[in-house]
Amino acid sequence: YPNPTDGMLTIESNSQGRHSIEISMLNGQVVFVDEMVGNKHLLDLSSFRKGFYFITIESKDYVTTRKIIRQ
């Protein structure tokens, strides 16, 4: 949250531990990779072009992909 975002994006998870974060453009090109430790992480997307992206968050227990909008 917030989504859409104008720069800062907060990611929260119900599970502790390590999570990998990958952001890709609609064409599949990966533009950002990071790792989250714990259950909350703040991402600065202010350098990203405005548009639609996919964010994939993966832990040892699950993988989820969501659409994010950079305003």
Confidence of residue 15 (pLDDT cuts 50, 70, 90): confident
pLDDT of residue 13: 86
Is the predicted pLDDT of residue 61 greater than 90, yes or no?
no
Residues constituting the chain: 71
Confidence of residue 10 (pLDDT cuts 50, 70, 90): very high
Report pTM. 0.91
First-to-final CA distance of the chain = 13
Residue range 10-20: mean pLDDT, rounded: 90
